[in-house]
Amino acid sequence: MTRPPAAVATFGQLADLQAKMGHGIARFCEHIVAVIDAAHAGKRADQVVPYIGRPIPVVAGLDEACALGAEEVVLGGSPPGGGSTAAVFPFVRDVLDRGMWLVSGLHERLADRFPSAERLIDLRHLPVEDRIGSGKAAELEASVLLTVGSDCASGKMTTVLEIERMLRGRRRTAVVATGQTGMYITGSGRAVDAVKADFLAGVVEHEVMKAAEADLILVEGQGSLFHPAYSGVALGLMHGAAPDKLVFCHDLSRTRLAYFGQAIGDLGEQIALTQALAARLRPAEVVAVSVMFDADLRIDEARRHMARIESDLGLPVVSPRLGLEPLADRLVAR
């Protein structure tokens, strides 16, 4: 898939969780040539967010991004609720007036504000057929692995994409993207948090069934069963995917739920309840815990936390920052 050189705009949020869409795209998309963020201009993206792992230049504005070859701009800020900010509309107009492509993952449909735009893609508003879930994904011969977690933005997409990367040539895998970031990276999928609640499971089921020729289908999880604001999408997604394998994702740097403030509960209890809910369609086991951590937590400290969790839960604990080889090897062996 050939893609035009692109820039990610994060509107001063590059160092924040609100820019998680930008973080994921910058990490996984090799055609990103710049990050537009005046608050961090002059630095490299990986200096601001080590997770990105690539020395993408951070520039102050659109002129500098164009000078680096950008022909497309992705709105990489993703505030709670997906709403827009005051800075977005003049910026979007500038991008479109230059004849560039503009890609948005906001809940707000920008095409309604810019109806004459021909190079505007609203990822959350691509056509999707209303479908009622039937549970038929549970009958697939293929194994279905779903990432779940203790909170939103805890590495579910990253874990899926890193597993896929490590299994290339070792298993026939397919990725089912379920959020705007994963959709942009993979070029497929549906943003399930924009689907009507009655049809969420059915839409996920349809995406999983389309991947039935793979022998391991990797489904990107969303939200968390244990987050009062985002549990609905997490449960509907689980019912649609009907997984037989789960990877439980957790952010070591966090003790409270993002955007909510409630304490994150006991991981063992969460894993047990997750498996029980998944088993309504077919037996599913957590095969590993995948942890994220920010730059404030030293790697040796992270390893100690991981060893403690592994001892407490009796499960392998891996991290995308340190490599998922043990998990990939386990999935090949199965």
- Per-residue pLDDT reduced to its tens digit, 258-271: 989 899 999 999 99
Kindly state the percentage of the chain with pLDDT values over 90. Answer: 91
Task: Assess if residue 130 is contained within a domain.
Answer: no
- Residue 174, CA distances (Å) to 151, 186, 195, 217 in order: 24, 10, 22, 5
Same domain, 73 and 193: no
pLDDT of 297 = 87
| pLDDT at residue 82 greater than cutoff 80 | no
| pLDDT at residue 24 greater than cutoff 80 | yes
Same domain, 260 and 285: yes
Please give the Cα distance from 244 to 254 (Å, whole number).
Answer: 28
Boundary-marking domain end, from 90, 125, 160: 125
Please give the Cα distance from 32 to 25 (Å, whole number).
Answer: 8
Please give the Cα distance from 198 to 239 (Å, whole number).
Answer: 12
| pLDDT at residue 315 greater than cutoff 90 | yes
Task: Assess if residue 230 is contained within a domain.
Answer: yes
> For position 38, which CATH number holds?
3.40.50.720
Please give the Cα distance from 161 to 179 (Å, whole number).
Answer: 13
pLDDT of 296 = 83
pLDDT of 295 = 82
Stretch 225-240: mean pLDDT, rounded? 97
Stretch 225-251: mean pLDDT, rounded? 98
Token representation of residue 129: 């057929």
Strand order of the β-sheet with 58-59 is: 58-59, 32-36, 6-9, 72-75, 101-104, 120-122
Average pLDDT value for the chain:
95
Stretch 274-299: mean pLDDT, rounded? 94
pLDDT of 294 = 86
Confidence of residue 1 (pLDDT cuts 50, 70, 90): low
Q: Would strands 285-292 and 173-176 be described as parallel, antiparallel, or unpaired? A: unpaired
pLDDT of 261 = 87
Same domain, 95 and 163: no
Task: Assess if residue 229 is contained within a domain.
Answer: yes
Same domain, 201 and 285: yes
pLDDT of 77 = 86
pLDDT of 160 = 98
Confidence of residue 81 (pLDDT cuts 50, 70, 90): low
Same domain, 102 and 222: no
The domain total for the chain is: 2
Residue 307 near residue 316, CB atoms below 8 Å: no
Same domain, 216 and 271: yes
Phi, psi of 138 (to 5 degrees): -70, -15
| pLDDT at residue 34 greater than cutoff 80 | yes
| pLDDT at residue 90 greater than cutoff 80 | yes
Stretch 234-250: mean pLDDT, rounded? 98
Please give the Cα distance from 6 to 65 (Å, whole number).
Answer: 8
pLDDT of 199 = 98
Which residue range forms the structural domain that includes residue 21? 6-125
Per residue in 113-145, pLDDT (tens digit) is 999 999 999 999 999 999 999 999 999 999 999
Stretch 298-327: mean pLDDT, rounded? 96
Task: Assess if residue 119 is contained within a domain.
Answer: yes
pLDDT of 78 = 67
Kindly state the percentage of the chain with pLDDT values over 70. Answer: 96
| pLDDT at residue 80 greater than cutoff 80 | no
Same domain, 159 and 301: yes
Task: Assess if residue 265 is contained within a domain.
Answer: yes
- DSSP H helix total and E strand total for the chain: 12, 12
> For position 175, which CATH number holds?
3.40.50.300
How many residues in the chain?
334
Per residue in 137-155, pLDDT (tens digit) is 999 999 999 999 999 999 9
| pLDDT at residue 238 greater than cutoff 90 | yes
| pLDDT at residue 86 greater than cutoff 90 | no
Stretch 260-288: mean pLDDT, rounded? 96
> Amino acid identity, residue 115?
P
